[in-house]
Amino acid sequence: MRSRCAVFALASILTVVIPLRSNDWPTFGHDPQRSGWAFDEDTISVENAGNLELKWKIHFENEAKSLTALTAPLVASKVTTAEGVKTLVYVAGSSDHMFAVDAATGHLVWTHGFETHALPKDAGMWLCPNNLNDTPVIDKQAGLIYVISADGRLFGLDLGTGQVRFGPIQFVPPYSKVWSLNLFRGVIYTSISQGCGGAQSGIYAMDVRHRRHPVIRDLLVSDRGGAGIWGRGGPVISPKGILFAAAGDGDFDPSQNHFGSSVFAASLPNLRVEDYYAPNDFVHLTKYDLDLGSTSPGWFADGDYHLAAVGGKGGTLYFMNADSLGEKDHHTPLEVLRLSNDEEAYEEYGIWGSISSWRAVDGTTWVYVPVWGEDSQKAPKFPLINGPTPDGCVMAFKVGRDPATHKPVLDPAWKSPDLNRADPVVIANGVVFAISTGENAKQTTGSNIIYSGQKALSDAERATNTRHIVLYALDARTGKPLYSSGNAITGWTHFSGLALANGQVFVVDHDSNLYCFGLKSK
């Protein structure tokens, strides 16, 4: 049964976000809202972040395919294993394997390989790599980690042993390009982009509460393969159960359920679109491949407001009231900020990954945006700048109020040091952790200004001219560097993410290595 009907009113009351325990990092960005905020972490602080060091490194027998190697790490504590109760770190690999590692020692605890029961029609490349691409999600209560294998089947593996305890059940088309899984009230959600494996773009959901009676629902947002939802955080879900997603290039016609170049909100669990926002220049964005799909939206609350922010390849940040995304005409956000990409290039510039947020102890809401390339000439002026940023940076904003309308606005606060292709940040106890990914973000030959007629670079070409990853700890209020990993990480990474738990920060690279950073022993 596949259903796309439901009745659910968008909530407009103040939502209280109940913190997850900091000793778990169960999903991309820590929580269903993809905030990147480890709410209760208190081991690493502004005062001691300079004492971080590389604690261990483990290499996995995993074949990198195209630009894909390892998914973003996840962490679960108090897991019963054959060797006792441990905190484990989990990553999935492009060679269709799951790995679980002892967080204390860096030793491999278990691995699970997925058998493939279908073959891809076309040869893989970085646009459609024909491999495991989704960051899994942990259901701590059930003791399972859910992951979609390359052939589109959903598995629920035991956290302590790696044994299959749920499924496998065919969830999405084989070799489709799926993104980070989200778990909300017993339902797994993911998104699909780029038509890989013949899959249609949209949101896909599976109710996993009953092993023998899983219910699958789809929300398809395009008829012709466009409008891909490829923000690496996948679907974003508010505490009240509203799903937010940003779609890439494609037709925009809400009457036909076409949501290309827009942001939409859907009620759960039945995936009915309740609200949407499209920029006034959505036709221009689609024509020049400047789509909004390069990020997952950020959802956060401030005072009586529920808010959302999303950025696109065009370098523009859109700030919205999450309870009325584009007001009555669906084209009027709270604020539009041009941050980068005056060249209007569809690669190497813009806003990529996901938007992170943090609530400081004084009640201030902070928003962090990973920006590629030089600042736009129209970018707001930041009172604190930590050096020139020719390759990109993290831009930090505080949520304030417009003096005239009293509506929320984003007040620029600081810019990080130069980051060669910034990834989404994570935040803990007043410290922002960010990485310079070092990837070669050039996708095609030529000027990259107009996509038509350009030739996509090969996997081998994309793997050249890279630099190694650098992990930074920054003061969350000023952007001041507190720590740099220097040359400790040897490889680069593409479309990954960080995890933080129990005073440990976890990073992966394209050479299939997992790194753990923690405070020096006293």
pLDDT in tens, 162-180: 999 999 999 999 999 999 9
Residue 14 lies in a domain: no
Strand (E) or helix (H) holding 411: strand 408-415
- Tell me the percentage of the chain whose pLDDT exceeds 70: 94
Is it the case that residue 15 has pLDDT exceeding 70? no
Mean pLDDT confidence for 2-15 = 34
pLDDT score, position 2: 40
Whether the pLDDT of residue 277 is over 70: the answer is yes
What pLDDT does residue 452 have? Answer: 52
Within a domain: residue 12? no
| pLDDT class of 10 with cuts at 50, 70, 90 | very low
Residue 139: both structure tokens together = 């259901």
- The answer to whether 299 touches 322, Cβ cutoff 8 Å, is yes
Amino acid 443: pLDDT: 82
**Lowest-pLDDT choice from 163-172, 190-199, 438-447:** 438-447
Confidence band of 386 (pLDDT split at 50, 70, 90): very high
With b for 16 or more beta-carbon neighbours within 10 A and e for fewer, the 204-219 pattern comes to bbbebeeeeebebbbb
Q: How many other C-beta atoms are found inside a 10 Å radius of the C-beta of residue 301?
A: 20
Span 91-95, average pLDDT: 96
CATH number of the domain bearing residue 509:
2.140.10.10
Rg (CA), the chain: 21
Q: What per-residue confidence (pLDDT) applies to 446?
A: 62
Q: Would you state the pLDDT for residue 125?
A: 75
In a domain, 6, yes or no: no
Q: Tell me if 47 is assigned to some domain.
A: no
Residue at 341 is within a domain: yes
396: in domain: yes
Residue 454 pLDDT class (50, 70, 90 cuts): low
When pLDDT is averaged across residues 183-194 and rounded to a whole number, the result is: 96
Of 520, 517, 365, residue with least CA distance to 433: 517
Mean pLDDT of the chain: 92
Instruction: Report residue 450's pLDDT band, with 50, 70 and 90 as the boundaries.
Output: very low
pLDDT tens column, 210-262: 989 999 999 999 987 789 999 999 999 999 999 999 999 999 999 999 999 99
Contacts of 86 (CB under 8 A, 6+ apart): 79, 102, 103, 104, 109
pLDDT exceeds cutoff 90 at 326: yes
Mean predicted confidence (pLDDT) in 489-498: 95
* 453 pLDDT higher than 90: no
pLDDT at 449: 43
Q: How many CB atoms lie within 10 A of CB 121?
A: 10
- Domain of residue 265 covers 52-519
Look at residue 129 in the predicted model and tell me its pLDDT.
87
Phi, psi of 511 (to 5 degrees): -85, 15
301 phi and psi, to 5 degrees? Answer: -110, 150
Torsion, CA 359, CA 179, CA 263, CA 310, rounded to 10: 40
pLDDT at 21: 46
Q: Is the pLDDT of residue 128 over 90?
A: no
pLDDT reported for residue 268 = 97
Q: Side-chain half-sphere of 88: how many Cα atoms within 13 Å?
A: 29
For the full predicted model, state whether its pTM sits above 0.85: yes
Whether residue 16 is contained in a domain is answered as no
- 101 domain residue, yes or no: yes
Average pLDDT on 291-308 reads 95
Indicate the number of domains in the chain: 1
Residue 285, helix vs strand vs coil = helix
More confident residue, 48 or 5: 48
315: left (phi over 0), alpha (psi -120 to 50) or beta: left
